[in-house]
A and B are shown apart, each in its own frame.
Chain A
Amino acid sequence: MQRASMAPDAAEIVLPAESTPVRPIRQPAGSILYLDGVSVSFDGFKALNSLSLVIDKGEMRTIIGPNGAGKTTMMDVITGKTKPNTGDVLFNASVDLTKMDEAAIANLGIGRKFQKPTVFEHLSVFENLELALKTDRGTFATLFFHLTGPQARRIDEILGVIGLGDRRKEKAGALSHGQKQWLEIGMLLMQEGQLLLLDEPVAGMTDHETETTARLLLDIARERSIVVVEHDMEFVRALGAKVTVLHEGSVLAEGSIDTVQADHRVIEVYLGR
């Protein structure tokens, strides 16, 4: 909290004075996710460069940016996979995520869908969802776990939502790419997290599947905060959420899809490559 005074400087370094779409960084109060001055370097290469970002409770945010902008690295930092070299990462304005491991962060209620769909190929669709079901994660609790009626119905419900009801017994490895994406979204829903992070959820989906996914995300966004990383501009437009543009590890622009698409610096980083 006391570092908040540093935030305006950080924002100024990143942005030239002419920039208007980016709002100044503010206090973490009321936010579900608060990143301030986060830097990550790999062997001297700065994947994140003093990144600052605030997501409000209940907000949906889309994040775009060219390949290598640091979008996935940002999710790695939030979920504890990568420790930042500097900067604050706060959940619910108070919990310091940089001090926790992946499992502890997941148990706080932060769910993640990976860029490359990662489901457990040798387990059935049902079993994949069962593993994600929100329950006690302790080793002995898991050993003696017994699926209750309401829990089984919850899994059935999610199977319906992701359209895999008739494939519940099949091995997840036998699903198509798009279906794996959906299964992973289903796993996110099972976790009942407060904050969902989705890394390129519609990559490899047909147009129809993409539309369905957009509707699904808008539906679940009513109860939770969601951060979606995506390339597909149609999809981003369909979500209609506030857009943050990342470039070279920091925020380049922020605003509605129309504002950022009109921003000449955004056009430059997308076209000038």
Chain B
Amino acid sequence: MLLMSRLATLESRRGWQVFLILLVLTIVLVPVLNLTLPPESPFHVPTYMLSLLGKYLCFALLALSLDLIWGYAGALSLGHGGFFALGGYCMGMYLMRQIGTRGVYGNPDLPDFMVFLNWSELPWYWLGFGNFWFAMLMVMLVPGALAYVLGWLTFRSRITGVYFSIITQAMVFALMLAFFRNEMGFGGNNGLTDFKEILGYNVQAQGTRIGLYVASALVLALGYLISRYIVTSKLGRVLMAIRDAESRVRFLGYSVTNAKLFVFTVSAMLAGIAGALYVPQVGIINPSEFSPANSIEIAVWVAVGGRGTLYGAILGAFTVNGAKSFFTGAAPEFWLFFLGALFIVCTLFLPRGIVGLAAQLRNRAARRAIPSTETKSKEVGDAASEHGA
């Protein structure tokens, strides 16, 4: 009963309406348009498009996870690509174990790359990954545990700001170098690929693709609600207080270390889940996912959408990745310039991203409609609070 009434407070009535409409559109309409309409129809959603949207949904979950720690607790992690990739590798290990004797070497236990390295048995850390639920547990536990340890070391020592960002960048860089090594047992620079089945379904089949797409949408929705629960709780307000004035929070008796540790760990777990949903949809995971530039790009998505709002992060992930898909088709050589320009424009002119721009335009329209003093004073308040950021 208490939980139900608490759930109702996660969103305003309007917010719940938008949430449910978007959810239905995503999980019902898109698959229906894919399955029922003939390919000639202008409303037909081709399967490749559905898979592309599925990828975006994973990126949106990743952006959401970064917004939780960056937008609310003020700690910019530039290592979220690493948590994403770790989740992806855990899923990849499960998928590799499903290949069985269908590999090139036909070894029932060892993935091809291990046979190639003349290994005779599965390394201990691959044990258990043949089981889907064990692998799913690891998808959350591995990134979560890494974030917990890293967070404990940094937050306890009160490392904040750019130093925290640099440490997280160093973490993904180290992970990338480690995963490039063949001896690590994760397939070296080729990574894990040539997947056949997930839970007994062919990963290439249209039905499986739709299933993965719907699963991504549902998990994103769930991840959004969990994040909303956190940020609308009193702990969420403690996090925002930490973002505003970290040391002041300590004098109120809250443990800043524990609060940040909690949100960093949850955030890394969400990023890991995003990676796990991503890998079967793209069919490969390799060490380039750990590249430091990837982690920086996630921050750009969040900045473009507008941080500290959750839905802004989702919007940003879709916008930037949509633009990326368009550019890599139309003018690939311009993509990096565009991304750089986008980031500069956002930092200089749109400190609160697309979401902030929309709010500004709404305010302006409202002011034109009713030139009352009320809207004016509200804007002054907004500007003042922005100044404090």
Interface residues in chain B, defined as those with a beta carbon under 8 Å from any beta carbon in chain A:
2, 6, 230, 233-235, 237-238, 240-241, 243-245, 247-256, 258-259, 261-262, 380-381, 384-385, 387-389
Contact = CB atoms under 8 A, between A and B. Distances in A.
A131 B255 contact: no
A91 to B, nearest CB: 14
A2 interface: no
A174 B385 contact: yes
Contacts of B384: 171, 173-174
Most chain B CB inside 10 Å of its own CB: which residue of A79, A122, A123, A146: A122
Contacts, number: 99
B234 A130 contact: yes
A51 B203 CA distance: 73
A9 interface: no
A131 B233 contact: no
Contact of A142 (B234, B250, B387): B234
Nearest to A137: B253
Given A122-B388, A139-B235, A106 B241 contact: no
Given A118-B245, A121-B385, A106 B250 contact: yes
A146 B3 CA distance: 11
B250 A173 contact: no
Nearest to B242: A120
Interface string A101-119: 1111011000110100010
A170 B255 CA distance: 26
Interface residues on A, range: 20 to 34
Contacts of B238: 131, 142
B187 to A, nearest CB: 38
Contacts of A187: 252
A173 B251 CA distance: 19
Contacts of B234: 130-131, 142-143, 145
A131 B235 contact: no
Contacts of A191: 252-253
A81 B247 contact: yes
29 contacts: A101-B250, A103-B253, A103-B255, A104-B253, A106-B253, A111-B251, A120-B240, A122-B244, A122-B385, A130-B237, A131-B234, A131-B238, A131-B241, A131-B252, A137-B252, A137-B254, A137-B255, A138-B258, A139-B235, A139-B258, A139-B261, A142-B233, A142-B235, A142-B238, A143-B233, A144-B233, A145-B234, A146-B6, A173-B388
